[in-house]
Structure 1
Amino acid sequence: MKGTKGGHPSILDGTNDWELRADLMKQLQFPDIVHTTLRPDIVMVSGKTKKIILVELTVPWEERCTQAHERKKAKYEDLVQECREAGWRAWYYSIEVGCRGFPAPSLGKMFQDMGIEGQARKLAIKKVSQAAERSSSWLWLRSNASSWKPSTNG
């Protein structure tokens, strides 16, 4: 299978057994490849091809996208290397979408590597950007509501 436009190869090529796991409510169990306490936001695994893709989404202020990218990249660097040492082909994507909806280039790069190109890529970026902006707006509105009790745990 080639990318959706232009024929560029995709890291998803070569198998149809992809399993997607998401860290919803801190319940992600990392695949039995290496032992770790880290929980990326999304993990995609193909047992047939021994491929693993880790995705960490951050929604910072737009001015802090670069710092967020570097911080998350450093956090998962050892885990990616451990997966590779265990015989897996591993990719890591630290993607950032600003809280006002600005998509950092990392988002488009991830979609491109996964074979999502052209109009499909533009639409996917737009939808992720809108979701980040709506979620940030909801959080902002909730922070001004009388029932909001901010956490004191940091």
Structure 2
Amino acid sequence: MYLDIKKDMEELKSDLIRSQSIVIKLQAELLESKSKQLESVHSTVKTAVQDTFQAGIITYSQAVSKAAPVLTEESLKKVVQNVISGEDRTKNVLIFGFEETSDLLVLEMKQIAKEDMQINNIISEVPKLRKERPFERAKDWKLIWDEDTLPAQFPQHIYNTAERPDIVVWSDSLREVVLIELTCGDESNFSDQVARKEARYNRELIPGIDGCGWKALLFTVEIGCRGFWHHTVPALFNYFGLAKRTKNKALNEAALVALRCSYTIWLARDNKKWSTCYDIARRPEVINCES
């Protein structure tokens, strides 16, 4: 009986060793598979990044070549090579023991300065990629806004109409006019509010302005009753080129005013007549668009 038990134990031990060998083999195969997967992911990501980078370089090169055809790769390469060779010649002069005040060194420095000026001239011909602000293209911009107690008539020399957009900004020299229409409603209806206001002004006012030789641009801006703004609001500020800090300050102030007004309306829900003590909104400060 003892021999049988011993024999069974040895068989179990052999089975356990074989099982462990199988587990080790499976773990090795799993590690190999994971390594191949990591290599595949690394190769895919590397290829995607390289393609994106190359596409960005091609896009920028095309933009520069279209805007400034005088700047070619060969001309820029030639100037850079001349500057590099000039600097190398100057280093050689110093290495071989010439004085810094020697005529040869002075001549070399003048040549380098001349070639640096050529580079600056070429770079100055490259157009600015930053979009020009409206206020940088003219100095005669004017602004009016419409209120219930202080109604503002649309500039009649632009187009004769009874329409009253909330804010009108125009330049007589550029013959451009920006129409801004504000809506304060429920945040879930932002898209409907945009469509309704665009349909209203595209029906008669904007075609009439374009027909008079002016260029009209409409911005419908929406700020919700709970203090959330639509993406059209920062889009308007970006068009006028407001600095990031100024834009964020204006967005927060507009959201706070909308939220406070909604809360005040809710507090006065049982009153049949609006009292002046509920007027909590104040006129905003003048925004410096150049800051």
* TM-score normalised by structure 2 residue count: 0.46
Aligned to 1:152: none
Structure showing greater relative contact order (alpha-carbon pairs closer than 8 Å, 6 or more residues apart) = 1
For residues 56 and 42 of structure 1, the distance between their equivalents in structure 2, rounded to whole angstroms, comes to: 7
Does 1:88 find its partner at 2:211? no
Matches within 5 A, 1:47-66: 47-66=172-191
Q: Which residue of 1 aligns with 2:152?
A: 28
Greater helix share, 1 or 2? 2
Partner of 2:193: 68
Quick one: distance in 1 between partners of 2:135 and 2:176?
9
1:143 alignment partner in structure 2: 269
What are structure 2's unaligned runs of at least 5 residues? 1-128, 276-291
**Which consecutive segments of 4 or more residues in structure 1 shift more than 6 A?**
none
Cross-structure match for 1:39: 164
1:59 maps to amino acid: C
Instruction: State the distance in 2 between where 1:139 and 1:60 align.
Output: 13
Q: Secondary structure in 1 aligned to 2:219?
A: strand
1:23 aligned partner, one-letter code: D
CA distance in 2, matches of 1:92, 1:42: 10
TM-score under structure 1 length normalisation: 0.84
Q: Per-residue deviation at 1:59? A: 0.4
Q: Per the alignment, do residues 85 and 99 of structure 1 end up closer, same or farther by CA in structure 2, a change over 3 Å counting?
A: same
The correspondence for 1:113, drawn from 208, 216, 239, is 239
Q: CA deviation at 1:146?
A: 5.3
For 2:270 and 2:133, how far apart are their aligned partners in 1? Answer: 44
Per-residue CA deviations over 1:85-104 (Å, capped at 9, x if unaligned) read: 21112111110000111010
Q: Greater strand share, 1 or 2?
A: 1
| Counterpart residue identity of residue 176, structure 2 | K
Q: Could you report, residue by residue, the CA deviation over 1:74-113 in whole angstroms, capped at 9, with x for unpaired residues? A: 1111312221221112111110000111010000111101
Give CA deviations for 1:121-142 in whole Å, capped at 9, x if unaligned. 1221111111211222222222
Structure 1, unaligned stretches of length 5 or more? Answer: 1-5, 150-154
What is the rounded CA distance, in whole Å, between the counterparts of 1:58 and 1:87 in structure 2? 29
Q: Which has the larger radius of gyration?
A: 2
The answer to which of 114-123 and 38-47 deviates more is 114-123
Shift of 1:143: 2.4
Which amino acid in structure 2 is aligned with residue 19 of structure 1?
Answer: K
| Structure 2 CA distance for aligned equivalents of residues 69 and 146 of structure 1 | 31
Size of the alignment, in residue pairs?
Answer: 144
